[in-house]
Amino acid sequence: MPTVISIILFLIVLFISSIHFYWAFGGKWGSDVVLPTKDDNNTKV
């Protein structure tokens, strides 16, 4: 059982880290939701 939990946690961390690498190399997917904006929804803070 601990092995299964370890594998699941590893896959979650791997997925999250791959998103960060994607953003680091210029990816735009999800950036509108993640980055805060001002009230006019246009200018990034």
Note the pLDDT of residue 29. Answer: 78
Q: What is the pLDDT of residue 12?
A: 97
User: How many folded domains does the chain comprise?
Assistant: 1
In a domain, 44, yes or no: no
Identify the pLDDT of residue 20. Answer: 87
- Structural domain range at position 8: 2-34
- Determine, yes or no, domain membership for 17: yes
Got the DSSP string for the chain?
Answer: -HHHHHHHHHHHHHHHHHHHHHHHTT--TTHHHHS-B-TTSSSB-
Residue 44: pLDDT above 70? Answer: no
pLDDT at 15: 95
pLDDT per residue over 1-42, tens digit each?
A: 889 999 999 999 999 999 889 888 887 777 667 767 777 766
pTM attached to this predicted model = 0.61
**Residue 5 to residue 19: CA distance in whole angstroms:** 22
In a domain, 6, yes or no: yes
Does a structural domain hold residue 42?
A: no
The verdict on residue 14 lying in a domain is: yes
Q: For residue 43, tell me if it sits in a domain.
A: no
Q: Is residue 28 assigned to a domain? A: yes
